[in-house]
Chain A
Amino acid sequence: MANGMRNGMKISKLVNEFQASEKNRLNYWISTFEKYSHQKVIKLCRDAGASTEICQVIAEDIDGVVNNDTSMSEVRSLIFALLARHDPKSATRFRAPELYVRTSKEKFEVFDKSKITKSLVKETGMDLAVADSIALETVQFIETLNLSYINTHLIREIICVKLLEHGLEEARKRYTRLGIPVYDIEQMIGKGISTDIKRENANLQHTPETINWIISGETLEQYAMLRLVPSHLADPHISGDYHIHILSNMATRPNCVQHYTPLFFKHGLKVDGTGRHTSVAGAPRHLAVAIQHCAKVLLASQTQMAGGQSIDCFNVWLAPFVRGLSDDEIRQAAQEFIYELNQSYVARGGQVVFSNVNFELGIPKWLKDVPAVGPKGEISGAYGDYEEEARKFLREYIKLKIKGDSTKKQHMFPNDAFKVRPEHFSDTYNDEMSLIHQFIAKFGTPYIANGVPEWQTEQFNYMGCRTRLDSAFAGPWGTQRTGNDIYITLNLPRIGLEAKGNDDKFFEILRSRMQKMTEVLLMKHKITDDTLHRDKLLPFLTQKFDGEEYYQFKNTTKTYGYAGLTEAAKIHTGSHLHESKSSEEFGLKVIQFMRDYANKMTKEHGLRFSVIASPAETCAARLAKLDISRFGSKNVIQSGTKDAPYYTNSHMVKMDANIPFAEKIRLEAPYHPLTNGGHIMHIWLGENSPNAESLQELTKKICTKSNIGFFAYTRDYSVCNPCSNFQYGLQNTCGNCNSDDLSRYSRITGYYQRVEGWNPSKKQELKDRYRYTADTCKCE
């Protein structure tokens, strides 16, 4: 067969293939609308890489066989055939379809290499020549894939691989796309939040908002680890030297805050911070509105913050609005507030706001002469004039909390802390104290903030998550309009494992860890400063009152937390904190060191560094697991089981320690003065119905005879889902209808939640708690 014939047969075969695949080409369909033109043919040939001469030849050939009505689509196979004859390489390129890119703007654009170059330069700041060569390599790679169309995300992934190949890691970090795999999204939607990702919050439900929250949190956390936290600070977090909390909020939000509501009573409420985007409320006239302002402040602020939203001296600020109202009116207002906070499923992934209030039983000294903001935002006497009203509000509020919701279940929020001062144990305040303890006896929810000990400054406040502020840094007003920026929990047992019993080594490692933690804290300080003032991302916080920013950023705390002190002590000294004097002393030495270090940093940087006995929901388990991986389970001292390991919370005595109550207090109390950033002591009550008067007696003893700064009683209880029957203790069956479908509640590091929502390690911790009942007690 002659060459020409062979070629001809080959070409016609190729043309057949070409025609068969045309229907798959977007550009074919587009060209069905295009009328034939000589110029278009030339362009197509040139784009395919043919020389000018060949383009001319082909165009002239085709000119001869078309008429005015021919569309470009009809001509394409002809172009292909002619290219196949004159310039097979170009024919190949012509056959490989024009690549269309589906962009994020939901349209198709012709693939254009220069777009890659431009975006690389824009996003990574790299040199034009380098960008262009990466772009070229990317294009060459894409051509080998034989695609009909491609989307920008895929191009980006390919570019990242190219950057990786060239060792351009910094550029890759800036250019990469963040997010979560398809699989994880499907798991989340279908199976609920039971994937490995984030069970950090026990409050989460299974709703679209929650899924959004988790996805965005995950993405922003990746961003933080990629772009904000340098690897020498990120690696220790990943490996478990310490745990940086709420990394998902590192880029955008500070942690928690104590709000100062009189400003909103005086100036009205702009929930967007500016008043331009939504309704603006004026200064309230009535208690009902004032209290609504309070609720909305918490809601609005929660959109810009990661953690707890609290109002200190809650009843004091409201007292001027209480004057002249009937008990019913007061109750109504308080009820609105309570329900508002428990039923607004709108924050941070469709959760309720993590709300807290602090109550004063009387008017504290530092507020007695402060001008009181009353109805219409007008000054009306001083707060010292309103003790009766403040106490009345307190009593009505507690009665509502004792009542519970319409099914008699307890209200989970707000977390209530009652600040007890020496004068409150007199008969004068017996009504208030009695109500508080009836509340505790029934539900075990509120906290007692102990204002009696020497070390507790005159003004102080707490939140349910145990964050604490006091007068030491910036006077009593330094406890208002501010809170914690960020905290990091140190893995103490690991230091024990690394120091191998050597004291000097232990403290050397401790110091170096704290140095790294300090870097992270300072880094976050800068980030928050930028988010507030440069990026203006937190308009509620930066809104101005009387020319000053609402949020007192300069007073925010940067906090060192810790976990597993007892396990660390066991590794280092051979015994747990409650087992020997030397262990006890060692524990105190460690935390004293941390506090001294924090004080030093405060002096050095002029920032509010503090130490906190970390609330450690997920952290306790994670650190234990990482240590088991690294050091082997034989070498690790932890307090859970093989399947559900955990480190004991902060400096707390081991959950199952068989020690008398007074001993537990004696061991834990010394840590409270050291942890100026926050602490708590838990008293587990077990299943019997405690007597309110007995609890009141105990509170008095704890407050007047120990250094405990903040404590809470925990009553476990169960609620029957079908019939709403309420029972104390974690029950298996309902005492009323015999159902086994019960919701069981216990306190998780500072706030109540259903036991089902817990991660396995927390469930294990629950089983370990040593209860003060006949069953578990064996004295001797």
Chain B
Amino acid sequence: MVTIKSFIPISFSDWDGKVSAVIFLSGCNFKCPFCYNKDLVFNSKDLKEISPETVKDYLKNNADFVDGLVITGGEPTVFSDLPDLCREIKKTGIAIKLDTNGSNPEMLQQLIKEKLIDYVAMDIKLPLNRYGEVTEIKGIEQKIRQSLEIIKNFNYELRTTVVPGMHTGDDMLKLARDLEKIGVNKKFFLQQFKPLTTLDPKLEQVRPYSQNELEEMKQQIAPYFKKIGLRI
């Protein structure tokens, strides 16, 4: 059953071009060392659950100003009834964006087919052959590639949070080439790493890439993407 454990009523940085509300589902099938939502995902017993009704009411009452809902987490697609949630919320007429790690291509397919979501933001955790570093799921690379195929012709963006020690300039170059080859190079964002309450506590001591370093990285991979940006 879908569990909503946090809610941002209004955000200007979660869906470009939209004034969005954000709901966080607590549950995930990955264990990315650089995750800073670990408490929300693995330790949310004490957080009060928010009912979908509450979210719907809020969206109805604020329809004048909020025109998008972002579903994030955790990994929303671990909940088998996610499509039901989307269906409920769609009754308000609002646009929905899904943040996902791409590990559930079947659900992604369903959501897109049934017009339950309007935009997909998929995290690319690492170069595609290194996903073993963030999850134990067997055949994960295949699943990721399937998801990429599914969203290829939809509204989407891809993004990678770059962590010194895990993502080098060369890694990103390799990834960029891969993504271009697959044909999912419409929109890509390099995201800054925040060394706060990370899942792997060692990473809290890591100094993030400086803005200049990120700029340089962006320049390097820019030729492979139609649109590229930095989120710091």
Contact = CB atoms under 8 A, between A and B. Distances in A.
Given A661-B62, A694-B12, A779 B50 contact: yes
Which of A688, A694, A695, A696 is most buried by chain B, counting CB atoms within 10 A of its CB? A694
A780 B62 CA distance: 15
Contact of B64 (A662, A685, A688, A772): A662
Contacts of B24: 774
A701 B18 contact: no
B62 A695 contact: no
Nearest to A662: B62
Given A661-B9, A689-B13, A774-B24, A694 B66 contact: no
Contacts of B66: 661-662
Contacts of B6: 774, 777
A780 B48 contact: yes
Given A774-B24, A777-B7, A705 B64 contact: yes
Nearest to A699: B19
The 8 A-B pairs with the shortest beta carbon distances in the complex, nearest first, are A690-B12, A693-B17, A662-B62, A694-B12, A688-B13, A779-B7, A661-B10, A705-B64
Given A694-B17, A777-B8, A777-B9, A689 B231 contact: yes
B16 A660 contact: no
Contacts of B154: none
A690 B48 CA distance: 28
A694 B20 contact: yes
Given A705-B64, A779-B50, A697 B17 contact: yes
Contact of A694 (B13, B22, B48, B62): B13
27 contacts: A660-B9, A662-B66, A665-B65, A688-B13, A689-B232, A690-B12, A690-B13, A691-B12, A691-B16, A694-B11, A694-B12, A694-B13, A694-B15, A694-B19, A695-B12, A697-B17, A701-B19, A701-B65, A735-B208, A772-B9, A772-B10, A774-B6, A774-B22, A777-B6, A777-B9, A778-B48, A779-B58
Contacts of A695: 12
Given A694-B15, A694-B18, A777-B8, 16 more contacts: A660-B9, A661-B9, A663-B62, A688-B11, A689-B13, A691-B13, A694-B12, A694-B16, A694-B20, A698-B65, A705-B65, A735-B210, A772-B10, A774-B22, A777-B6, A777-B7
Contact of A698 (B12, B22, B58): B12
A451 B17 CA distance: 22
Contact of A660 (B48, B50, B61): B61
B13 to A, nearest CB: 4
B65 A702 contact: yes
Contact of A691 (B8, B17, B50, B61): B17
Which of B8, B66, B208 is most buried by chain A, counting CB atoms within 10 A of its CB? B8
B141 interface: no
A582 interface: no
A736 interface: yes
Interface residues of A, number: 29
B35 to A, nearest CB: 15
Interface of A: 660-663, 665, 685, 688-691, 693-698, 701-702, 705-706, 735-736, 772-774, 777-780
A780 B50 contact: yes
Contacts of A780: 48, 50, 54
A779 B54 contact: yes
B67 interface: yes
Contacts of B58: 660, 779
B19 A697 contact: yes
Contacts of A693: 16-17
A724 to B, nearest CB: 12
Contacts of A701: 19, 64-65, 67
A780 B67 CA distance: 20
Contacts of B12: 685, 688, 690-691, 694-695, 698
Contacts of A705: 64-65
A774 B16 contact: no
A271 B211 CA distance: 46
A351 B12 CA distance: 35
Contacts of A685: 12
B54 A662 contact: no
Contacts of A660: 9-10, 58, 61-62
Which of A696, A698, A705 is most buried by chain B, counting CB atoms within 10 A of its CB? A698
Contacts of A665: 65
B16 A779 contact: no
Interface string B30-69: 0000000000000000001010001000100110111100
A433 to B, nearest CB: 12
A777 B7 CA distance: 7
A779 B208 CA distance: 32
Contacts of B62: 660-663
Given A660-B61, A705-B64, A779 B231 contact: no
A778 B62 CA distance: 17
Contacts of A689: 13, 231-232
Interface string B206-231: 00101100000000000000000001
Contacts of B210: 735-736
A690 B232 CA distance: 10
B11 A662 contact: no
A451 B11 CA distance: 25
Nearest to A706: B64
B63 to A, nearest CB: 8
A300 to B, nearest CB: 41
Contacts of A697: 17-19, 67
A685 B11 CA distance: 8
A775 to B, nearest CB: 10
B204 to A, nearest CB: 14
A695 B22 CA distance: 16
B222 to A, nearest CB: 20
A578 to B, nearest CB: 14
A772 B65 contact: no
A660 B64 CA distance: 12
B21 to A, nearest CB: 9
A430 to B, nearest CB: 12
Contacts of B48: 778, 780
Contacts of B64: 662, 701, 705-706
A324 to B, nearest CB: 36
